[in-house]
A and B are shown apart, each in its own frame.
Chain A
């Protein structure tokens, strides 16, 4: 039987979300049309937007629907950079922690190459947490020149929760807006935009059981972005026909996921998995923050001396779907920049494994994983020393 422990890659769509999605897909009408069909679609869209806003502690007018996490992050990072620089040409610095998701890394590097942005990398501690003292110094050194701070709400690989409220307060004290990438945090921990006073927050539907290709950028009323996509001006900062069915499905998935927070059942399963791995595999090291300091569904290990490709192959051959957690180029897992930023030595970073549990995970999944892992690690270590 297949064991799916890669919810952070994408989470299976619950039946009620699927039903809401397929029902909505039957509805004819462009939400921007004036006729009755258009109005029906608009009603579905705006109801979804309201429900999403509630799930995110935001106002409906602040919810910009997008094609997913990557677009949301690009809109926030590039759009806020352009808007800040337009207001004040001195604001060309972007403060960004090491260990961000590639959607952020590649967006800020693009800004550096093409728009003259100066990037300041903020160090992480050994558990993958942003060092607020380093952020503070960077802000203090040049606050009049900083366009924005962008950071993960929780690290997508090692699961470490970031001190987002403190981070936002720190940046705001220097008059700098903040974008938070909550793609992996949403549905796992409370993502309350007003409460943390973030200027922009990115989320994605398929990470909480919604459809792929749907996401949102929560953009505070006071925040401004230059759009990425130009066209019919359907939303604030974004053009393109709005996806009513996607919004409806995302809303159901989000409400359902948020209602389950705190994920005490999932966290307990995860804790059992972590304890089992540490007890049965020599040299296994849990990476990221322990216990409450990390996403409840996330476990992340390194197995020194193991070959990552072989480890994934052996687990997959045993019917277990997990990931290395790091980005892929042409399907090849890269050495994790997050682990490197945390100071993990390269040989240990090679044998990394991310296990992420979700709403449909159960004891049987954990048992199957724990049963298969020791032999897989042994095989991956043999493969590493053979080749």
Chain B
């Protein structure tokens, strides 16, 4: 096959490309330029768009003896990922930019370009597995559970998965990948993992957002709608957040307060006790199936749902109802905010996902 290896400059994508080469495919390495103003050097473990990362990817490709190019996706990335991230926050939602990047850049803009140029598949260093099941392609969790990235790939459709290959999916641990990189003489073998959001290199998401979303003082309300404090700008808050409220006096019950809801239109933040974060149901109209649609989607099916990249999956029932994917969890869960993605699993298999539009609290507002 003719394979396009997306190479970030990290150890995972380098080893993934190496495995594609070793499997006998014709492989071309591509580094995606996602920023027009790359920082000159990597600082700490952050960032995936620096000159240094591009150089690391180039050196790895040279070691593998494959052609290497840097392709410019900076405009698409800015529009589809960065601007989307800002707009989502401005609308009071909590987006996952890595997911957006997989959905719209790596497995859309890049994949479409690769297919147009005669490639058969795009290879990345993601920890997840694409398998061929009875009903076609399936996406599964990685063997290395600690590194599993099936969540951020949950947004891919059957058409995208059909041309995706994740050669690290069956590898039991990251340590093994690093050892393989070392054995192959790849200079990135000991390179630190990237964390955080690549386009916010200093990791200060709140400060970065404040610059772009703008911040105006607004009211902090309790669950009954009484004003109990002032915040510096609603957009910088996220549901479940406890720090940074600075209300100045304790709640009547003496317990800490948490952000329950962000209302960007009225610039209000609603806070309340931790119990009130408990969610019984979540739903979204923007859903997709990672492979064949489940036969019992309308009737509802037992599943597990995961609401963040590093959250534990919890038992739930999912069903399609009036154009929404509605997920009812068996036991209430916390840490769910509109804008997040709920990924639905059956066993190790990713069935589909939705972007959460609304949630239903497990605890009614006290009268």
Contact = CB atoms under 8 A, between A and B. Distances in A.
A205 to B, nearest CB: 26
A165 interface: no
A309 B76 CA distance: 14
A309 B69 contact: yes
Interface in A323-339: 329-333
Given A329-B36, A330-B38, A387 B69 contact: no
A382 B51 CA distance: 29
B117 interface: yes
A382 B108 CA distance: 15
A379 B117 CA distance: 6
A193 to B, nearest CB: 37
A309 B115 CA distance: 15
B33 A387 contact: no
Residue of B67, B70, B76 most packed against chain A (CB within 10 A)? B70
A309 B71 contact: yes
B38 A379 contact: no
Contacts of A28: none
Interface string B13-44: 00000000000000010010100101000000
Residue of A307, A314, A330, A332 most packed against chain B (CB within 10 A)? A330
A312 B115 CA distance: 16
A110 B243 CA distance: 44
Given A316-B67, A330-B38, A332-B72, A310 B54 contact: no
Interface string A304-315: 000101101110
A332 B70 contact: yes
Given A316-B67, A379-B118, A307 B33 contact: no
Interface string B111-129: 0110111100000000000
Given A330-B33, A330-B51, A387 B116 contact: yes
Contact of B69 (A313, A329, A382, A386): A313
A383 interface: yes
A379 B2 CA distance: 15
Contacts of B67: 316-317
Nearest to A310: B117
A386 B28 CA distance: 19
A387 B36 contact: no
Contact of B115 (A316, A333, A385, A386): A386
Interface string B254-295: 000000000000000000000000000000000000000000
B90 interface: no
A307 B113 CA distance: 10
B320 interface: no
Interface string B77-114: 00000000000000000000000000000001110110
B80 to A, nearest CB: 11
B58 A387 contact: no
A329 B118 CA distance: 27
B153 to A, nearest CB: 19
A312 B33 CA distance: 16
Contacts of B70: 309, 330-332
A46 B34 CA distance: 49
Contact of B38 (A309, A313, A329, A387): A329
Residue of B31, B69, B112 most packed against chain A (CB within 10 A)? B69
B197 to A, nearest CB: 19
Given A312-B69, A332-B72, A386 B51 contact: no
Contacts of A331: 31, 33, 54, 58, 69-70
Given A316-B67, A317-B67, A387-B110, A333 B116 contact: no
Contacts of B51: 330
A310 B72 CA distance: 10
Interface in B49-63: 51, 54, 58
B116 A383 contact: yes
A174 B116 CA distance: 56
Nearest to A312: B69
Contacts of B72: 309, 332-333
Contacts of B113: 307, 310, 383, 386-387
Residue of A307, A379, A383, A385 most packed against chain B (CB within 10 A)? A383
A385 B117 CA distance: 11
A314 B116 CA distance: 11
A195 to B, nearest CB: 42
Residue of B31, B36, B69, B116 most packed against chain A (CB within 10 A)? B116
Nearest to A316: B67
B221 to A, nearest CB: 45
B149 to A, nearest CB: 23
Contacts of B112: 386-387
Interface in A167-200: none
Nearest to B74: A332
Nearest to B115: A386
A33 to B, nearest CB: 39
Nearest to A307: B113
A332 B37 CA distance: 11
Contacts of A313: 28, 69, 71, 117
A101 B81 CA distance: 33
B33 A383 contact: no
A330 B54 contact: yes
Interface in B191-226: none
25 contacts: A307-B113, A309-B69, A309-B70, A310-B116, A312-B69, A313-B28, A313-B117, A316-B69, A317-B28, A330-B51, A330-B54, A331-B31, A331-B54, A332-B33, A332-B70, A333-B72, A379-B117, A379-B118, A382-B116, A382-B117, A383-B117, A386-B115, A387-B108, A387-B112, A387-B116
5 A-B pairs with least C-beta separation: A386-B116, A331-B70, A387-B113, A386-B112, A332-B33
Given A309-B69, A312-B69, A383-B117, 4 more contacts: A310-B113, A317-B28, A329-B36, A387-B108
